[in-house]
Structure 1
Amino acid sequence: MRVTLQPSGASFEALPGERILDAARRLGFDCPQACRNGNCHVCAALLVEGRARQSGEVREHGEVFTCLAEPLEDCVLHWDGVLAPGELPLRKLACQVTLCQPVGGDVWRVRLRAPAGKPPRYHAGQYLLIEREGGSSAFSLASAPHEGRDLELHILARENSAIQLLEQLQRERIARVQLPFGDAHLAELPAGPLVLIAAGTGMAQMHSLIEHCRAQGFVHPVHLYWGVRRPEDFYELPHWSEWKTLPNLYLHKVVSDLCGWDGRCGLLHEAVCEDFADLGALSVYASGSPAMVYATLDALVAAGMDAHQMRADVFAYAPR
């Protein structure tokens, strides 16, 4: 029997006679539960559709205790606090600003430290929201999960909102953030080569992915394509020199507009297609503007890539 959860939309299959909580936990869901005998009410859910048996009684609606209830047919439950496999809870943290430093190309490197005893939980490649005067802004995490309390952001300071945010961080020395967000992450490492495609400060997300791969001992090749409009738009990365010595990491800087330098020129997808005659075995991650990401997707699909091989947060927040 299929059990579908609201409000998340996640679902799982329960075996005949299996209790809902047992099925969810067997399949890797993180569920609120304590006593497992229906006394604490922690695992309570609302049966919206379908029938379930609890303590010998068949129920068609109303509250059920998932540690006792067995679905008799496909069911829909409103069950708060359940996390699907790999999903992490959203948390709000007030972080200390430990570094706010320009690194070239109008980009600032910002380091935050979460409170002691509250290490942030996120997957490599996810992003956070940071409160600013009048709203909030999203920034990819350039740090990787193994760095514990320390978080890193790369902020392009060309628009007034970003400039004002940097002034706020330097003035208050506190950043109020919420995390994690984003589906284009590495909760699980792929079983083959990675291609990382970043435009501008989209490099922050790729920085997180590369550092995570290093920490996890990832043995497959990783190909990074970092694109900007002009050579002076590249900014300093703290681990670039170390990356150049790694045997399975291949670094490509690509300039699109002004090609007066000794590196590669053109569009990012052109560079990828030049390097790979066969795109079939690659896991591709892309970060940049919606226009850049969709143009890259279309070009790589035309070159033989399956669209499902590519992941990008743009697909969720700016669906085409």
Structure 2
Amino acid sequence: MRVTLQPSGAVLEIQPGERILDGARRLGYECPQSCRNGNCHVCAALLVEGRVEQEGGVRDHGEFYTCIAEPLEDCIVLWDGVLALGELPVRSLSCQVTSCTEVGGDTWRVRLRAPAGKPPRYHAGQYLMIHRDNGEKSSFSLASAPSGGRDLEIHVLAREASAQNLIKQLQRDTMVRIDMPFGDAHLAELPDGPLVLIAAGTGMGQIHGLIEHCRAEGFKHPVHLYWGVRRPEDFYEVEHWDEWLKLPNLFLHKVVSDQCGWQGRFGMLHEAVCEDFPDLKALHVYASGSPAMVYGTLDALVEAGMDAHQMRADVFAYAPRS
């Protein structure tokens, strides 16, 4: 039987004799549920179309309990709180500020610790929102990986007054409120093929989290990092860089765009990628940076033969272009 969920539009293929909640969980969906016998009502849903059997009776409309109901035909169900495959619930956490350290290039490495008993759930590459003193929220990519448990890390470029004020808040206060996780440019599942990770400036934060996740999971395919800045002094300290250099499948490329006497790779990030990969078709590409940088890189790589669907970036969601 096919059970279509509203408002998500997800379609569940329920097996004969299977209860709707059991089928949803078998298919990897995270669903509101507790007692699994229809007494707590946590799993309640609204039957929009179709018929279900529940405790020996047949229902064709109204509220029912997914933990004990079996579909008798294709149904449409309004069921709030069901999370799609790979989707995690957004939670608000009060975190301890464990360190706030300047690491060069006007960048600060901030480390937070989630409360005991409430380990943060997120996919590598997602981001969080920090609650600021003025009531606003600011987003930062998670430079940590899920394997880090309660410990979270972000990289903050503090050249503008707004970011400088946030650093002062984090240095002053021992606790900060965050909401997480957000973003779909993540590695919920590792790809079966080489990764190309493109970071501009503190876009390195998100890419740092992706690399640390690959390292923790024992990812065996080649991983190529392209980290670009305008001037060499804009590079900042990455704690695990020396360890990364020892990994046989991780290739690190620093790229500077301005003419400034830099002895390493020079030019635009997409130029470095195209120089190393005449054929882009097998790559899984993640890009992190400003909208202008991401879209410029996308256009250049598509022109060089990459399919646009090979690249993932948060920019595509928060700054879509017509």
Q: Using structure 2 for the length normalisation, give the TM-score.
A: 0.93
Deviation, 1:185, is 1.0
Amino acid at match of 2:43: C
Instruction: Please list the CA deviations of residues 179-213 of structure 1 after superposition, one character each: whole Å capped at 9, or x if unmatched.
Output: 11111111111111110001111100110111111
Listed as ranges, the matches of 1:71-82 within 5 Å are 71-82=71-82
Give the 3 Å change call, closer, same or farther, for CA 315–72 of structure 1 in structure 2. Answer: farther
Provide the residue aligned with 1:208 in structure 2: 209
SS in 2 for 1:4: strand
Give the 3 Å change call, closer, same or farther, for CA 303–49 of structure 1 in structure 2. Answer: farther
Amino acid at match of 1:210: I
Amino acid at match of 1:205: Q
What is the distance in 1 between the residues matched to 2:45 and 2:5? Answer: 10
Provide the residue aligned with 1:102 in structure 2: 102
CA contact (8 A) 1:227 1:253 kept: yes
CA contact (8 A) 1:110 1:154 kept: yes
Amino acid at match of 1:218: F
Does structure 1 residue 317 correspond to structure 2 residue 306? Answer: no
Does structure 1 residue 181 correspond to structure 2 residue 148? Answer: no
CA contact (8 A) 1:259 1:265 kept: no
Listed as ranges, the matches of 1:297-312 within 5 Å are 297-312=298-313
What is the distance in 2 between the residues matched to 1:230 and 1:111? Answer: 26
Amino acid at match of 1:32: P
What is the distance in 2 between the residues matched to 1:248 and 1:3? Answer: 44
Provide the residue aligned with 2:67 in structure 1: 67
What is the distance in 2 between the residues matched to 1:131 and 1:180? Answer: 14
Q: Which stretch shows the higher mean deviation, 87-96 or 14-23? A: 14-23
SS in 1 for 2:212: helix
Listed as ranges, the matches of 1:192-203 within 5 Å are 192-203=193-204
SS in 1 for 2:154: strand
Amino acid at match of 1:91: R
CA contact (8 A) 1:127 1:141 kept: yes
What is the distance in 2 between the residues matched to 1:182 and 1:174? Answer: 24
Identity of aligned residues (%): 78
Give the 3 Å change call, closer, same or farther, for CA 270–73 of structure 1 in structure 2. Answer: farther
What is the distance in 1 between the residues matched to 2:244 and 2:222? Answer: 13
Aligned-residue CA RMSD in angstroms? Answer: 1.8
Count, aligned residues? 320
What is the distance in 2 between the residues matched to 1:116 and 1:15? Answer: 39
Deviation, 1:56, is 5.1
Listed as ranges, the matches of 1:27-42 within 5 Å are 27-42=27-42
Listed as ranges, the matches of 1:194-273 within 5 Å are 194-273=195-274
Provide the residue aligned with 1:5 in structure 2: 5
CA contact (8 A) 1:287 1:313 kept: yes
Give the 3 Å change call, closer, same or farther, for CA 170–8 of structure 1 in structure 2. Answer: farther
Consecutive unaligned residues in structure 1, runs of 5 or more: none
SS in 1 for 2:104: coil
What is the distance in 1 between the residues matched to 2:199 and 2:112? Answer: 23
Instruction: Please list the CA deviations of residues 149-182 of structure 1 after superposition, one character each: whole Å capped at 9, or x if unmatched.
Output: 1111100112222111111111112111011111
Listed as ranges, the matches of 1:136-147 within 5 Å are 136-147=137-148
Instruction: Please list the CA deviations of residues 88-120 of structure 1 after superposition, one character each: whole Å capped at 9, or x if unmatched.
Output: 222111111111111111111101111122221
Provide the residue aligned with 1:118 in structure 2: 118
Q: Which stretch shows the higher mean deviation, 193-202 or 2-11? A: 2-11
What is the distance in 1 between the residues matched to 2:148 and 2:102? Answer: 22
Provide the residue aligned with 1:157 in structure 2: 158
CA contact (8 A) 1:142 1:208 kept: yes
What is the distance in 1 between the residues matched to 2:267 and 2:49? Answer: 55
What is the distance in 2 between the residues matched to 1:205 and 1:244? Answer: 19
Amino acid at match of 2:207: M
Amino acid at match of 2:141: S
Give the 3 Å change call, closer, same or farther, for CA 273–90 of structure 1 in structure 2. Answer: same
Instruction: Please list the CA deviations of residues 14-55 of structure 1 after superposition, one character each: whole Å capped at 9, or x if unmatched.
Output: 235543212211211122223433233221112234444434
What is the distance in 1 between the residues matched to 2:319 and 2:55? Answer: 47
Instruction: Please list the CA deviations of residues 215-274 of structure 1 after superposition, one character each: whole Å capped at 9, or x if unmatched.
Output: 111111100001111111111110111111211110011112334200111111111111
What is the distance in 1 between the residues matched to 2:307 and 2:125? Answer: 21
Q: Using structure 1 for the length normalisation, give the TM-score.
A: 0.94
CA contact (8 A) 1:125 1:186 kept: yes
Q: Which stretch shows the higher mean deviation, 77-86 or 303-312? A: 77-86
Q: Which stretch shows the higher mean deviation, 113-122 or 123-132? A: 113-122
Deviation, 1:69, is 2.8
